[in-house]
Amino acid sequence: MSCEKTKELLSPYIDGVLSEDERLDIEDHLASCVSCQEELEDLQAIINMTKTLPPVEPPLEFRSQLKEKLNREAGKGRTDNKHKYMPVVGLLAVACLMLFVVATTLNVNPLTMGGMGSDSYNRTAYESAPEDAPRASGQSRMGTFDNMAVEQELIEERGLVNEAETSSQKQTREESMERKVIRRAYVALEATSYGEVNAKIEEMAMALNGYIQDVNRRVDNQGITRGNLVLRVPQANFDKAISMLEEMGKINSINISDDDVSVQYYDTEARLKVLYTQEERLIELVQGAQNIEELIQVETELGRIRGEIESLESRIRYLSQQVNMSTINVEIVEPTTATARITAPDWSNIVEDAVAAFIMSINKLINYVSRAIIAVIGLLPLAIVSILVLYGAWRYYKKRRISK
């Protein structure tokens, strides 16, 4: 054992608190080291001297000063405990801020998770029939023609659809096509008498070879009559119908739109021609089938072709109807007069209205709570990642400050 290590253990050696092995090592070292023996003698002399000193009485104010100091230390410890949690609070605040920034940057909307979002559709009176007509459902799968001559013949037949056209040929064909345009209009008309204007529009529809498709009429609590009607007239009489409507009253607004569907119409027509040719070839193959298996396969393909034909024919009929008969949505309203009057409330349904309002409030509260839960769950992964990153940064900063 070295002298330095021995001198460090001399005081515990005198107090007798060393282990047996340490005590023996020190005694072996002391037997051969004069310097350490002198150090041991000095320590024993000091200890013996302190034992002979008389006891010292503390000053009178010692107890009060000690108590005051202990109280200060205890208060300092509570303050330190408060400050100990400040980094955690700051960490959570920074995590929430980062979470908000990330959610905003990524355009995250947890309220719409789980199908809680709602869509609001504001439909104007001049909206007409849907853009796409109903399609007939047909077979979408292609029958397999294994070991049959039918397979090659049908492939060659379908190749007609993708036959190449030069740009000049395509341009010439497009120029020779008659334009197919769907014309629509919305007219807001103000008239002194709803009944008179409605009767005039019915007469006008008959005179222009058109008809009234839909009528909607209502009277508000002030006795003002309002209504909407859908007028269908031949496209050739569209402009004339608009002019006649302008003469029936004050036009508050008018909107006219033209939708060119020529490409859709003629593409559908061309596909129909090819499908008709395929149908004729399949009918010939049905008549020449050699066995039951071939007959079933050909009839399956024939059913698919006929399903596509029905779908395209429905599309052609819809486009033709929309092109030939233009749609005019007319909104008729009587002028309102600003007259101030006191109206008594309707007390007959006050209980039902109050119950309905209460139920609506409960439903809104439940909806709000459910949205809040979904928002918390939806943002939980981002929150966890943010907290872990900030906690790691805080630990690293703390270690660096301790090392300094």
Per-residue pLDDT of the chain (404 residues; tens, 9 = 90+): 688 888 888 888 888 878 888 888 888 888 888 888 888 888 888 888 877 777 777 777 777 777 788 877 776 655 555 555 566 666 677 667 766 666 666 554 444 444 444 333 333 333 333 444 333 333 333 333 443 444 444 444 444 444 444 455 555 555 567 888 999 999 998 888 888 888 889 899 999 999 998 888 888 777 788 889 999 999 999 999 999 988 888 888 899 999 998 888 899 989 999 999 988 888 888 888 778 888 888 888 889 989 999 999 999 899 999 999 999 999 988 887 655 566 666 677 788 888 889 999 999 999 999 988 998 888 888 888 888 888 888 887 777 777 65
In-domain check, residue 338:
no
Q: Are residues 209 and 353 in the same domain?
A: no
In-domain check, residue 140:
no
In-domain check, residue 134:
no
Of 333, 358, 378, which residue sits at a domain end?
Answer: 333
How buried is 233 (Cβ within 10 angstroms: 0-12 exposed, 13-18 middle, 19+ buried)?
buried
How buried is 185 (Cβ within 10 angstroms: 0-12 exposed, 13-18 middle, 19+ buried)?
buried
Q: Are residues 267 and 371 in the same domain?
A: no
Q: Which of 184, 185, 309, 308 is nearest to 254 (CA)?
A: 185
C-alpha span between 404 and 398 (Å, rounded) = 10
Q: Are residues 207 and 85 in the same domain?
A: no
Phi–psi pair at 365, nearest 5 degrees = -65, -45
Q: Are residues 327 and 188 in the same domain?
A: yes
C-alpha span between 245 and 254 (Å, rounded) = 10
Of 300, 333, 366, which residue sits at a domain end?
Answer: 333
| The token pair that represents 217 in the structure block | 């009429």
For the chain, how many structural domains are there in total?
A: 3
Q: Are residues 181 and 308 in the same domain?
A: yes
The whole domain housing 89 covers: 77-108+347-404
Say which amino acid occupies 128. S
Q: Are residues 243 and 303 in the same domain?
A: yes
What sign does the dihedral 106-108-114-117 (CA atoms) show? negative
DSSP H or E stretch at residue 131 = none
Q: Are residues 313 and 380 in the same domain?
A: no
Q: Are residues 286 and 362 in the same domain?
A: no
pLDDT given at position 398:
78
In-domain check, residue 282:
yes
Q: Are residues 94 and 200 in the same domain?
A: no
Q: Are residues 37 and 94 in the same domain?
A: no
User: For the packed helices 34-52 and 20-32, what is the interaxial angle rounded to 10 degrees?
Assistant: 110
Q: Are residues 213 and 255 in the same domain?
A: yes
Of 278, 305, 333, which residue sits at a domain end?
Answer: 333
Write out the DSSP string of 54-76: PP-PPPTTHHHHHHHHHHHHHHH
Query: Which pTM was predicted?
Result: 0.40
Q: Are residues 281 and 325 in the same domain?
A: yes
In-domain check, residue 64:
no
- The DSSP secondary-structure symbol of 112 reads G
In-domain check, residue 126:
no
In-domain check, residue 121:
no
Q: Which of 9, 56, 44, 11 is nearest to 29 (CA)?
A: 9
Say which amino acid occupies 356. A
In-domain check, residue 311:
yes
Residue 257: strand, helix, or coil: strand
- Mapping DSSP onto H, E and C, the string for 184-240 reads EEEEEEECCCHHHHHHHHHHHHHHCCCEEEEEEEEECCCCCEEEEEEEEEEHHHHHH
What sign does the dihedral 59-60-66-69 (CA atoms) show? negative
